[in-house]
Amino acid sequence: MPRRFRSLLLLLLLAVAQTGAAHGPGDDEAPETNVLRGRGPRWLNRLLTESAVLRQHHVGMSLTDVATGEKLYELNADRYFTPASTMKLFSLYAALKLLPPDSLPALRYVVRGDSLIFWGTGDPTLLHGDVPSRRALDFLRTRPQQLFYTDIPCVPAFGPGWGWDDYNYYYQPERGAFPVYGHTVRFYATAGQALPRVHPRFFKDATRPVPAGTPNPAQDHVRRPLLENQFWVYPSPKNWVDETPFRTSPALLRQLLQDTLRRPVGQVPFRVRPQDSVRTLRGLPVDSLYRRMLRVSDNFLAEQVLLLCSSQLGLDSLDTGRVIRLMQRQHLQGLPDAPQWADGSGLSRLNLVTPRTLTALLLRLHQEVPEPRLLDLLAAGGRQGSLRRRYRDPAGPWLWGKTGTLTNNHNLCGYLRTRSGRLLAFTFMNNNLPGDDTAVRNEMERILGEVRRRL
């Protein structure tokens, strides 16, 4: 080997040795910048950028100290991701800004002579299976006037960018101005029985067993045709409970109300006259709705929260777009990157948010909502909601957050209490991941556990 090549090889080996020493264990806490766009402690950058699990999809992370506002780590934090249900934090923020601080507006009404004319505010709790309220029901049942429902103009049943073929599943009920029963039918099946118990019983006669031999490629319990309120039940050797959305209409709503109230309900065109004294019936405490929406990531409740917000902006219609525009114009200025906000739940593929914007929203929420209340609204690791099986510690929860999952996407943002006592706001986003996301969830838990231990 010629001497000059030996010299070059020696210099190269020396450079590699020096590089290894510079990145040794003693310097693991040193900051590192612009390595795959990661900025922060070297050990955290390595966990993320050298992970075999995270290597084949898009990853973004933002980590900030809540008390000081110090940015501790960022990886692709300025890149837009599909946020999925983490968008519910924007719905929460809208509700905190626009809804009354104590109770939900359950319905609006006017009295004209011997007639009571009522319409919806978007309140989803009337006879809801998980956050049930009977306040509107008791009010309507005991009024001496004749009842007339009027259908306020409202957004379409499905949101922009939703998957149309999810209409059959519990997580995508139709939106509406005056929901009842959460716009779903609940089925309670017992092994060996041909048909399940149906709630509300109004839909019992519309429930039938599928013909023998009917294929069930999606392994459904119940299948409803796209445009009909007919519910076909598949046989099963096990007990099960499931929900299927029903198709909504003003006529069906009146039937359900009459069936429950046991009194006639007429219908009149929507029109508020200048001389009308419009009144609002108050419903459940607001946190009962927010807590359920966030902890279990209830899409229907989140969509209805934006309609409730719209009810506070005028009497003419319920329009989620109006709420989004107002929030972006008046309350979301100053975020690092403007969110592309399409719906209330995060079901829409049109939503786009950067990790650093979600973290900035978390900081605002912490500044404006007392910490005990804020953390109580969220899922808690090892305790409740969508995080109850992860981030466990017998001593108590250390991570509170909002998950966001669509096919090929899994995100998590929230608050993390380190062993040193610091509260950190974090966003951890994974988009375009192939196949099952279990390995990604496990890796996220491992990395956030290291963050808890080392910061």
* pLDDT tens for each residue of 190-228: 988 889 999 999 999 999 999 988 999 999 999 999 999
pLDDT at residue 4 is higher than 60: no
Output the pLDDT for position 254: 96
The predicted pLDDT at position 37 comes to 60
More confident residue, 7 or 20: 7
pLDDT value of residue 359: 98
What pTM was estimated for this model as a whole? 0.91
Q: How far apart are CA 235 and CA 356, in angstroms?
A: 48
Tokens found for residue 288: 């009962």
Quick check: 24 pLDDT over 60?
Answer: no
pLDDT tier, 287 (very low <50, low <70, confident <90, very high otherwise): very high
pLDDT-derived band of residue 18, with 50, 70 and 90 as boundaries? very low
Q: Mean pLDDT across the stretch 417-434?
A: 97
pLDDT at 40: 85
pLDDT band at 25 (very low <50, low <70, confident <90, very high): very low
Answer whether residue 12 shows pLDDT above 70: no
The pLDDT value recorded for residue 396 is: 94
| H or E segment and range at residue 455 | none
- CB neighbours (10 Å) of residue 23? 14
Q: β-pairing, 265-268 with 146-150?
A: parallel
pLDDT digits (tens, 9 = 90+) for 120-155: 999 999 999 999 999 999 999 999 999 999 999 999
Question: What is the arithmetic mean of pLDDT over 96-113?
Answer: 97
What is the average per-residue pLDDT within 50-54?
95
Check pLDDT > 80 for residue 85: yes
The whole-number average pLDDT for the span 421-446 is 96
With cut-offs at 50, 70 and 90, classify the pLDDT of residue 16: very low
Long-range contacts of 68-72 (CB under 8 A, 24+ apart): 69/363, 71/39, 71/40, 72/40, 72/41, 72/424, 72/455
Backbone phi, psi, residue 318, to 5° = -115, 115
198 Ramachandran zone, left/alpha/beta (phi>0; psi -120 to 50): beta
Which residue did the predictor score with more confidence, 208 or 39?
208
Give the Cα separation of 328 and 220 in Å (integer). Answer: 40
Gap between the Cα atoms of 410 and 441, Å rounded: 8
State the pLDDT at residue 191: 87
pLDDT > 50? residue 60: yes
